[in-house]
């Protein structure tokens, strides 16, 4: 067992459950499409983030340390994607049968984990602080991967349920539009937070 497991869990939960791009999109999707139709998003985030953490622990951590410019490139690409996503959420179209099309798919969220500035920085921070080089390297890496994976699935699912819960208060189309605008605005605030 990792000697600082409780600290690792606490930091991972605080990073995972605070507002961020994944959580805002999950709340939006849960609100507009329900739990079942948000499952691809939940799986995309969960598996994408887990894959990212595995790669950071086993391959990329030295690259991030030796080439800090990689983090800047990720931040720029993540910003561009989030602006695009905020636009899609704000101006999502209603189809002819009156149902809104979900602009977020499994593949989008899976790939986004690799350019999500918050997620990448969280992964690098946790791996740097909780994985020792040497004989405990593999053991510590496994603990970080498991904790991050569980946190990703828990947080994204919780935010989806929050969106679904808030849907009970949606009494008209204006409320729905305002909620979608609020989620787009939250994405924009996340972008601003990356540069402060």
Domain that holds residue 189: 5-195
Total-model pTM = 0.82
* Residues in the chain, pLDDT under 50: 94-98
pLDDT of residue 99: 59
* 29, 108, 145, 184, 193 from 56: Cα distances, Å: 28, 20, 10, 29, 23
Other Cβ atoms less than 10 A from the Cβ of 180: the count is 19
The structural domain count of the chain equals 1
Task: Label residue 185 exposed, middle or buried (CB < 10 Å: 0-12, 13-18, 19+).
Answer: middle
Other Cβ atoms less than 10 A from the Cβ of 13: the count is 15
pLDDT of residue 150: 96
């Amino acid at each position: 067992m990792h000697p600082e497991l409780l600290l690792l869990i606490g930091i991972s939960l605080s990073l995972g459950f605070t507002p961020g791009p994944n959580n805002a999109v999950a709340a939006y999707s849960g609100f507009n499409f329900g739990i079942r139709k948000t499952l691809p998003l939940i799986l995309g985030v969960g598996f994408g983030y887990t894959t990212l953490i595995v790669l950071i622990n086993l391959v990329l951590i030295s690259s991030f340390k030796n080439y800090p410019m990689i983090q800047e490139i990720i931040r720029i690409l993540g910003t561009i994607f989030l602006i695009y996503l905020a636009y899609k959420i704000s101006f999502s179209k209603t189809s002819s049968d009156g149902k809104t099309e979900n602009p977020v798919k499994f593949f989008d969220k899976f790939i986004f984990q690799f350019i999500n500035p918050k997620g990448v920085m969280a992964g690098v921070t946790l791996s740097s602080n909780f994985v020792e080089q040497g004989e405990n390297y593999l053991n510590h890496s496994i603990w970080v991967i498991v904790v991050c994976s569980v946190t990703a699935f828990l947080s994204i699912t919780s935010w989806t349920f929050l969106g679904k819960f808030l849907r009970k208060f949606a009494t008209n189309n204006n409320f729905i539009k305002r909620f979608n605008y609020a989620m787009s605005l939250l994405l924009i605030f996340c972008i601003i937070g990356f540069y402060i």
